[in-house]
Structure formats: structure tokens, C-alpha cells
Amino acid sequence: MKSLVAARLRAQRLSGAPFTTAVDAVRWFGAVQSQDYPGARWALGLRVKGAKDAEIDRAYHEGAILRTHVLRPTWHFVVPEDLRWMLQLTGPKIRQGMAGRYRRLELDERTVTRAQVAFSVALEGGRHLTRPELGDVLRAAGIAPDGQRLPHLISSGELEGLLTSGRSRGKQVTWALLEERAPKARTLDRLEAIGELTRRYFLSHGPSQLRDFVWWSGLTLAEARRGVELAGDSLERRAVDGKEYWYDGALPASRSAPTVAHLLPNFDEYTVGYTDRSAMLHPVHPFRPELFAFSSILANVVVIAGQVVGAWRRIEARKGLRVEIRPLARLTAVERTAVEEAGNRLSRFLERPVEIAWIAS
């Protein structure tokens, strides 16, 4: 189990050689979950040498990184050149899964089409509009945007390859036309897309099981098996405790992970990218859901050597940021020092003072 954790940390670039830019990190993963936007920026910052929060925010603002609904469905970061082929692969199944919700919202095919035409006309020529402004566009077209109708019509436009993230406007997000935001987005035939998404996932998340990839991608088990075949020699297979894992065979072998701490944000790929999360549970300190936001390992977690040792949360303070650490059990002096250094890294990323506060649990 220790060697599996060590390999995942290297594949995820939480140990070993970091990326040079956030764009490189997103391209490596294929898609990075990002509905918690500040947390998702920190997820990239953990993997990029010398990263600054403002730099990643600027890359998003300028369109070097896009944020849209593309897997499961929820928000993900994707680089522009990958977005169209990924949507063509995953979008139809997601839309099919949302059909019942659309019926309850009285969003029939004719209404969805009318909304997309209205969005297209309103955004043409490089315009970027906020959600309330897109609601006004719908009202002008005679379509009620009330309740959940507006967000579902926007996400439908994203899944159809019409809309994607636009430039930030203060703290508000905007939407733009994908064809204008990503004019060089490539397309792949379905088998090529399956092979490419499979390869990206296992290189960046491996060692992983096929069922992990099925959860992450939304593809079927048959498609996942076909994807492994298409990935060819770029992936290797091994058995651990009777389970079959696929991974990047070019990664150097290591028996254990370094004693490095990470303050992982909500929905970090290290936690959210798997259905079987047993490898990240500490062998001595049992996981205690009551310590974590929404009682989940997908919340802000403290990991040392790739295994969960506690929860953390950030609180705005007058002179910077207060980070409260709630350990699952008493940590050693070496482990506490590692957590303090993780706080220093967050401070450098945010370019703000960070105070670590230990909270008894």
C-alpha cells in the first residue's frame, strides 16, 4: 500500500518534479475538478513550482485555462485545445442523465434550442456575460429563467460546446462562446478520444483501478477497457492485494512516500479522482467524519506521506489568514513541522501571512 501511495503522489505531482505552469498541470490531468474555484487554484498551486494565486487567476481570466461542465457533471478546468473533443465524448451521456431534471423544469428540446440561439446572438463578437445578464437574455427571448432553469440552460450550452468560461468581472464569473474562446480546440474521433482520456487519467492518477476511471470519466466499463487497450505501451498493469491497477510504468519505483504534508483543498484530484480511497486512509489514525466539512474525505484534508491525518479550514484574519488544523490523533514533532511548512507554502502561494492554529479534536 505504501508503494501505491508513493506512486500516486508522484503521478499527481504532489511529490517529485513539479510542473512549470498551471496550464501544464491542467493538460497533464486532462480535467481538474473546480467547482470550489479558490480551492481549485490552490490544487494547481500545489503542483506548480513557485505558483502564485494571482497568476493562476490571471491564466483563467485570459482563457489559458477554461472552466466548464465536462465530467460527471460538475465544474472542471480544461485547457482550450482539449475542450471540444472531451465534450463530444462525455457530453451526450451527461445530457441523457439530466433528461428527467429537464422535464421537471419544463425544458423541452425546443426551449433549449431557443435558449442556445439567444445565447449565441448575445455573446457573438467577443461579449462575455454574467449569469444575471444571461437571464436577461432569456427573458428578452420569451424564456423564463426562474429557479434552476437558468443554470441548467447554461450548463446545457456548455455541454453542447456552445458556451465556456469568459473573463472574470470582479468576483463574478462570465460566459463566452467556446468557438471564440478556444478557436483552436481540436476534435478527435470517438475511439481516439476514449484512448486519449484513458491515457491522461492513468498517467496522472495511477496506479488506479478501472472502476476509478469509470467514476471519474463517466465512461462505461467496456469503454474503459477499450481505452486501456488503445493507450497501449504507455500504461502498465500490476496487482495489489488482489486488485488490478493501471499506471505509468515510466515512473521510478519507490517503496514509501516522503514525510511531506499537504493541505489539500476541497475536491482535490488526489481525493476525488478515485472510488476506492482506502489507500489514503491512515493505518493507525481512523478517519473521523465529524471533523470534516460535509463529513467527507473530499473536504479540506491534511495529508502526510499521502495519507489523511486531519482536517483544515481557512479563516480570514485581520493580518492574513488563520488556518485551523484538526488532527485525527496526536502528531509527532516531525509531522507537525511538516504541516507548518505546508502552511508556509500556502502563504507563499497567496502572498499573505498564514498562521497555523492547532485545534484539539
DSSP 14-64: SSSSPBSSHHHHHHHHS-EE-SSHHHHHHHHHTTBTT--HHHHHHHHHHTS
How high is the pLDDT of residue 2?
Answer: 79
CA distances for 185 relative to 43, 121, 128, angstroms: 24, 21, 19
pLDDT tens per residue, range 196-220: 999 999 999 999 999 999 999 999 9
Q: Are 213 and 198 in contact (CB under 8 A)?
A: yes
Length of the chain: 361
pLDDT tens per residue, range 26-67: 999 999 999 999 999 999 999 999 999 999 999 999 999 999
When pLDDT is averaged across residues 84-99 and rounded to a whole number, the result is 95
What is the pTM (predicted TM-score) of this model?
0.96
Radius of gyration, CA atoms only, the chain: 21
How high is the pLDDT of residue 343?
Answer: 98
Q: Are 138 and 146 in contact (CB under 8 A)?
A: no
Residue ranges covered by each domain of the chain: 17-181, 281-358
Above pLDDT 70, what percent of the chain? Answer: 99
What value does the mean pLDDT of the chain take? 95
Distance between CA 303 and CA 124 in Å, rounded? Answer: 46
